[in-house]
Amino acid sequence: MGRHREFDPDEALHVALQVFRRQGYEGTSISDLTDAMGITRPSLYAAFGNKEDLFRQALDLYERQHLCFAHAALQAPTAQESVERLLRGYADVLTDPTNPPGCLGVNGAVACSEASEAIREELIARRMVNENNLRDRLEQARSNGDFPKNEDPTDWARYVVSIGLGMAVKAASGASREELHRVVDFAMRGWPTVPA
């Protein structure tokens, strides 16, 4: 009962995601969002809560829709293959021509005012989840024998994530897909091999 919504919340959330991805959390105003989403302020607050809630929902959508490749990548047969798929898939997402360049998890907030500290910490935590997932995969690989016993999965996961973060900043700075893939080429050169 009651009046029907005149906009599609899912579609509106996609638009909000685009704006946040381009301008970051702090650089995006409610007016920026309502203008792009084609709805009024009260509609936004009724449908999504406040700005912080909306950002978190956009972040969820982003991970669900754009970072979903990561789960599949981690299931590749070898650790090396997993990492390479991870980095190449990420390079493609970062430079997807239908979206603003870069990653919401980085563009969202790297440094910000105290008012946005909660969002910054949320992003740090989410990035850490990914790093830990990769570490777990490398530990599994070490058990399986396709990752050297004397190498530290925690250190390697941090290294791979750092490469990804660097590519994210480069993408936001205008780097092309090909340039990022060439970064991946070099990043994989030092990958450790199990002694025969």
Binding site for DNA (CB under 7 A): 1-7, 28-32, 39-43, 45-47, 50-52
CB 108 within 8 A of CB 24: yes
DSSP element (H, E) containing 123: helix 117-144
- Token pair 């989410």 is found at 126
d(CA 133, CA 116): 26
CA distances from 194 to 17, 94, 151 (A): 42, 31, 10
Segment contacting its own copies by CB under 8 A, of 34-42, 47-55, 65-73, 154-162: 154-162
Q: Please name the residues in contact with 125: beta carbons below 8 A apart, sequence gap of 6 or more.
A: none
Q: Please name the residues in contact with 174: beta carbons below 8 A apart, sequence gap of 6 or more.
A: 101
- Comparing CB distances to its own copies, the nearer of 47 and 188 is 188
162 binds, among its own copies, DNA, none (CB under 5 to 8 A by kind): its own copies
- Comparing CB distances to its own copies, the nearer of 9 and 166 is 166
Draw the binding track, 7-36, toward its own copies (x: CB under 8 A; -: no contact): --------------xxxx-xxxx--x----
Helix 79-94 to helix 177-187 angle (10° resolution) is 160
- Comparing CB distances to DNA, the nearer of 6 and 178 is 6
51 binds, among DNA, its own copies, none (CB under 5 to 8 A by kind): DNA
- Comparing CB distances to its own copies, the nearer of 73 and 172 is 172
Contacts (CB under 8 A) with its own copies, residues 77-136: 100, 102, 106-108, 110-114, 116, 124, 127-128
156 binds, among its own copies, DNA, none (CB under 5 to 8 A by kind): its own copies
Total residues contacting its own copies by CB under 8 A comes to 52
* Phi, psi (degrees; rounded to nearest 5) at 5: -65, 135
Helix/strand/coil percentages in the chain, nearest 5:
70, 0, 30
Q: What's 115's DSSP letter?
A: G
Q: What residue ranges bind its own copies (CB under 8 A)?
A: 21-24, 26-29, 32, 100, 102, 106-108, 110-114, 116, 124, 127-128, 155-156, 158-159, 161-170, 172-175, 179, 182-183, 185-192
